Amino acid sequence: MNLVNMKMEELEQGLLMQPWAWLPLAENSLVVKAYITKQGYALLVSDLQQVWHEQVDASVVSQRAKELNKRLTAPPAAFLCHLDDLLRPLLKDTACPGKATFSCDRVDEAMILRVQSELSGLPFYWNFHCILANPSLVSQHLIRPLMGMSLALQCQGRELATLLRMKDLEIQDYQESGAVLSRDRLKTEPFEENSFLEQFMVENLYVAVTRQEIQVRQEHQGTGDPQPSSSTSPQGTENQLLSQPEEPVSSAPSLPVTEKDPTGPSGPVKRPQLSKVKRKKLRGLFS
């Protein structure tokens, strides 16, 4: 396996380990996951109707940076580090926010996620050119993890039901030994394991989700509002699926960035401190 393939495989594996995160935009709402190293980045974007993907190496980053930022010159690792600094506060909900404006455009079946910020006191622009992800990638990053999470929830539900049943038996033993509650408000009814499992496994995890989605569509039809589409913020069930992640993306090393000067090259300048307003995020299945 050559070096390029090894770098791409590292990006693929790193992206798989990243959780999905909520990215609120003015024009729509997205869930995003990203993995950035000094060799390149991998990105997945979804509006819960379609999934887009981009994976590039340092050579592509260098060429695109020259096209979008003609006044800035730096090695690709410096731009990748800056992109990481911009994405991490949004995707990871860190206490140190960053200054950046995100927007997106749809071009045929592609999506362009645009980023605008400042780097060393100069405007910095970046466009993620994402294409539709293939079914295998969608299955790997969405379907199989969600199915696994569903099965894990079912196992946890059964374990909780067993624990509650054992607690009831413990309470029953106390009562048969003559123990009496000192406060009536603490009295509970015996746990009905079968009814709980039936409701938890079927009602809560599937039927209620699909029923809510149908209700949202019916409400839009009843009020004459257009159906929610990929160009609007996800509503109802989709909002419940969006949450904040847990682990930070890998950080590329900090490298100096310089401004192109017609009279001669300037010395290294410090990278700016980036900040953003912390936003409250929705929790759901993507945790």
Closest listed residue to residue 36, CA positions, set 81, 6, 74, 4: 81
Beta strands in the chain (DSSP E): 21-24, 29-37, 40-46, 51-57, 72-73, 101-107, 110-119, 122-132, 258-259
What's the confidence (pLDDT) of residue 247? Answer: 42
- pLDDT tier, 286 (very low <50, low <70, confident <90, very high otherwise): very low
Q: Is the pLDDT of residue 272 over 70?
A: no
Burial 196-209 (b: 16+ CB within 10 A, else e): beeebeeeebeeee
Residue 29: predicted pLDDT:
83
* pLDDT value for 155: 87
* pLDDT in the model for residue 157: 83
pLDDT at 206: 62
pLDDT at 153: 85
Query: Comparing C-alpha atoms, which of 5, 115, 28, 121 is closest to residue 72?
Result: 121
Q: What is the 3-state secondary structure (H, E, C) of 42-68?
A: EEEEECCCCEEEEEEEHHHHHHHHHHH
Determine the 3-state secondary structure of 202 from DSSP.
helix
- Tell me how far apart the alpha carbons of residues 9 and 19 are, in angstroms, rounded to a whole number: 18
Is 90 exceeded by the pLDDT of residue 95?
A: no
Question: Is pLDDT above 60 for 251?
Answer: no
For residue range 161-211, what is the model confidence (pLDDT) as tens digits? Answer: 899 999 999 999 999 999 888 888 888 888 887 877 676 665 555 666 677
Cβ 80 vs Cβ 41: under 8 Å: yes
Question: Residue 236: pLDDT band by 50, 70, 90 thresholds?
Answer: very low
Query: Cα–Cα distances in Å, from 134 out to 52, 141, 149?
Result: 9, 11, 22
Nearest C-alpha neighbor of 82 from the set 245, 251, 248, 258: 251
Higher pLDDT, 36 or 272: 36
Determine the pLDDT at residue 208: 64
Checking if the pLDDT of 283 tops 60, the result is no
Give pLDDT, residue 266: 42
Work out the percent of the chain whose per-residue pLDDT is above 70.
69
**Model confidence over 30-68: pLDDT tens digits?**
999 999 999 999 999 999 899 999 999 999 999 999 999
Mean pLDDT on 258-276: 44
Task: Please choose, from the candidates 163, 68, 194, the residue with its C-alpha nearest in 3D space to the C-alpha of residue 125.
Answer: 68
In this prediction, residue 84 carries a pLDDT of 92
CA–CA separation, 268 and 119 (whole Å): 12
Report the pLDDT value the prediction gives residue 249, as an integer from 0 to 100. Answer: 38
Q: How far apart are CA 23 and CA 92, in angstroms?
A: 10
Q: What is the pLDDT of residue 132?
A: 96
Strand pairing category for 258-259 and 40-46: unpaired
126 has a pLDDT exceeding 90: yes
Res 235 pLDDT > 50:
no
Where would I find the beta strands (DSSP E) of 85-178? Answer: 101-107, 110-119, 122-132
